[in-house]
Amino acid sequence: MNKVLLMGQANVGKSVLFNHLAGAAATVSNYPGTTVDFDKGHMMIEGERVEVVDVPGAFSLDPKDRAEEVAVRMLEEEKGATVVCVIDSSKVERGLYLALELIEKGYPVMIDLNMADVAKDVNIKVDTKRLEDILGVPVVTTVATRGEGLKELVSRMKEAKPVETGKIIEKVEAS
Amino acid sequence: MERALTVDQRWDLVDRIAKETVEVGAYKPTLKDALAGITVNPWTGIPFAIAVLYGFWTFFGEFAGLFTDGFFVRIFGTHWIPFLGEKLAGLPDWAFTILVGDKAVFAEGFVGDPCFAAGGVLTTGLFMPFGIVLWAVLALFFVLAILEDTGYLPRLAVLIDTVMHKIGLHGFAIVPTLISLGCNVPGVTAARTLETRKQRFIMIALLGVFVPCGAQIGMMEELVPGMIGWVFLTLAIGYFVFGWVLNKIWPGESPEILMDVPPYRAPQWSNILRKTWMRTRHFLFVAVPFVLLGCAIVMVLYATGAMDAIASGLEGLLASVFGVPASATPSLMVGFLRKDLAIGLLPIGAMTNYQVFKSVILLSIYFPCLATFALLLRELNWKEILATLGFLVAMVFVFGGVLNLIGMAGGW
Amino acid sequence: MEKKLSEMKYEEEGIVKKIEGGLKDKIAGMGIREGKEIKMMTKQPIKGPLVVAVGRSNTSIGLGLADKIIVEVGK
């Protein structure tokens, strides 16, 4: 693993997460499309220096503005990079839509259910174990604004791996 | 092997996964949800928006004024500038002129405020960025960060969408516009979130021509406070009228708004402060060297007599088309480098109020500062760049000429 | 009864029936899709945009785009 891309839809707390991971200061805003020029930084995983890239927010891999175009292009240039798909825990479904697109493209993916505090406030519960079992990729829960869950996120990045979409469908049908 | 699903298949799969893993409990709407409704409903939202923007404007004026008039005018005017005048008196004339100011002026006493009248790199050159502009920019970025982090901006975008659509943009264009009020550089960058080339071109052209940056606003607030309202009104008219014209003549698509509206969030102060600081720091790096360079150039041109030659060359044009005296030439010249410095160099005492007003408008629209222009070169293709420059020149003559005619008609 | 999203009234609720081709792919990632409950949050005057809620997400949509979305409403 030499490169990690943080991907996610707008307003999922991606840049806050990036700031924690890379110790950098990306600009963070509560409106769609803040990260248009992307930020890069480095973090240490088990003594290994890994590049982290804060990819502009994209709702899907079917771009509708230049920020999303940048995101899709970066993704295409970085075949082989590990992709952390950051999802707003209170809007899991649309986050999963993007996650599936990433999985279909064959990237080693892991999922970060961020903003767990918001989900709790609106009474939404996600069974992360079950989700991990179905998708076959690591799923962790974080509250990036408070720095919660970041250790687990980092320690499990190396478990991210490509998954066949067919396997996921089989899993769902089996249950 | 990639295996791509269709949109429907993918959603079908998401639904089945979500059914297995997500449990949505009962939820009672909170104050935040109520506020979300109120601020986006037109009947309550528009008065709310006006109140919010007015409140922030007031904060900006008070904050910037407190630092500038409360501290820095005194520190520079009564201590730093006279101190330098004495300490560096031994320097050769040319060096003194560039670093401190004209020796003769120091000997005879200043006409007006020494902070502006001195003109040297270490006197006026330091006073403008650190005494005035820094505080204005800091206040604007702070206010903007609060608007951003609470999630208010997308609501403002919804409210203003109807108007923005008439000029080929959509509501989200309010975000690059507001950011440009801090600094045009990140504002132009933010224009990338607009969907089509046409929208980005219109946005960038309007930002470069009609949106004054925080540095300029800070200088106006200090030097011509009574005029700011009129300046903003004139620029806003230009923004909408010529946005409408550009939309009619420039080919391309102007799709409608399609935007996620995030829930309100309590802002995190650490993030707000960090963001304000990051942007202010970036501003200092970009702006200060140009202000200092601009001061040096102006003083060299003065000392060598070149300024008089240029001024007399331009006198005819300035007087006939714009009705502005030739003494405004140095200001117009450094306006290519920095707008804030240009406003600081306007010979306000030697002009009528209406001439000052015209000059401030001309300075705002006639060229984006060098840093913004460099960014335009990167963001636009050559055809769009030429169009922007043509647009600039046209606007200078339209605004300069019309304002001059109005002035003549009004006898100002 | 079916109607266009653009014809829904303030606070009216319904179920998304059909989204026109190109738009469907474009808004898929924003959570708006066929079969989902949708609620009108606000309508701006003078042909302004709407804000609709689907699940926990709010989305602002121009009136012309909203013409391309058909909703099944009660009654």
Q: Does residue A107 surpass a pLDDT of 90?
A: yes
Domain that holds residue B315: 43-257+271-410
pLDDT for position C75: 62
- How many other C-beta atoms can be found within 10 angstroms of the C-beta atom of residue A170? 11
Look up the CATH superfamily of A3-174.
P-loop containing nucleotide triphosphate hydrolases (3.40.50.300)
* Chain A residues 4-33 with a CB less than 8 Å from chain B: 9-11, 16, 25, 27-33
Chains in contact with C, where contact requires at least 3 CB pairs less than 8 Å apart: A, B
Residues C29, A59: C-beta atoms closer than 8 Å: yes
pLDDT for position B1: 42
pLDDT for position A24: 55
The answer to whether residue B295 sits within a structural domain is yes
The answer to whether residue B112 sits within a structural domain is yes
Residues C26, A124: C-beta atoms closer than 8 Å: no
Question: Please, which residues bridge with residue A88 across strands?
Answer: A114
Chain B residues inside the 8 Å CB shell of C56: 263
Q: Please give the residue of chain A at the shortest CA–CA distance from C23.
A: A64
B254: left (phi over 0), alpha (psi -120 to 50) or beta: beta
Residues B260, C57: C-beta atoms closer than 8 Å: yes
In chain C, what are the domains?
2-73 (2.30.30.90)
Give the span between the Cα atoms of A125 and B22, in whole angstroms. Answer: 6
Give the span between the Cα atoms of B172 and B157, in whole angstroms. Answer: 5
Q: Does residue A36 surpass a pLDDT of 60?
A: no
The predicted-structure confidence for A48-98, as pLDDT tens digits, reads as follows: 888 888 888 888 888 877 778 888 988 888 888 999 999 999 999 999 999
> Residue A26 — pLDDT band, cuts 50, 70, 90?
low
> Residue C68 — pLDDT band, cuts 50, 70, 90?
very high
Kindly provide the residue ranges of all beta strands, DSSP E only, lying in C1-75, ordered along the sequence. Answer: 2-4, 13-19, 37-43, 50-54, 57-61, 69-73
Can you read off the two tokens belonging to residue A15?
């840049």
Residue B135 in contact with residue B218, Cβ under 8 Å?
yes
pLDDT for position B301: 85
Per-residue pLDDT, averaged over A139-151, amounts to 92
pLDDT tens digits in sequence order for chain B, 412 residues long: 445 788 888 999 999 999 989 988 887 777 888 888 888 888 888 999 999 989 988 888 888 888 888 788 888 888 888 888 888 888 888 888 888 888 877 777 776 778 887 888 888 888 888 888 888 888 988 998 888 888 898 899 999 998 998 898 988 899 899 988 888 888 888 888 788 889 999 999 999 999 998 888 888 888 888 888 999 999 999 999 999 999 999 998 888 888 888 888 888 888 788 888 888 887 888 778 888 888 888 888 888 888 888 888 888 887 887 888 888 888 888 887 788 888 888 888 788 888 888 889 988 888 888 888 888 888 888 999 999 999 888 988 888 888 888 888 887 7
Chain A residues inside the 8 Å CB shell of B193: 32-33, 36, 65-67
Can you read off the two tokens belonging to residue A30?
């509560």
The amino acid sitting at A85 is C
Min CA distance, B22 vs chain A (Å)?
Answer: 5
Question: What DSSP string describes B83-95?
Answer: HHHHHTTTS-HHH
Residues of B with CB under 8 A from a CB of C: 7-8, 10-11, 36-37, 40-42, 45, 154, 157-159, 161-162, 165, 170-171, 255-263
Residues A31, B148: C-beta atoms closer than 8 Å: yes
pLDDT for position A30: 46
Which is more confidently placed, B1 or C50?
A: C50
* Chain A residues 55-84 with a CB less than 8 Å from chain B: 59, 64-67, 70
Per-residue pLDDT, averaged over A107-131, amounts to 92
Residues C60, B36: C-beta atoms closer than 8 Å: no
pLDDT for position A38: 67
pLDDT for position B177: 93
Query: What is the total count of domains within chain B?
Result: 1
Min CA distance, A1 vs chain B (Å)?
Answer: 21
The answer to whether residue B233 sits within a structural domain is yes
With a threshold of 0.85, tell me whether the complex ipTM lies above it.
yes
Q: Please give the residue of chain A at the shortest CA–CA distance from C60.
A: A32
Chain B residues inside the 8 Å CB shell of A172: 13, 16-17, 20
Residues A62, C25: C-beta atoms closer than 8 Å: yes
The answer to whether residue B98 sits within a structural domain is yes
Q: Is the pTM of this model over 0.90?
A: no
pLDDT for position A37: 60
Chain B residues inside the 8 Å CB shell of A134: 17, 20-21
Which of A170, A168, A155, A167 minimizes the C-alpha distance to A4? A155
Domain ranges of chain A: 3-174
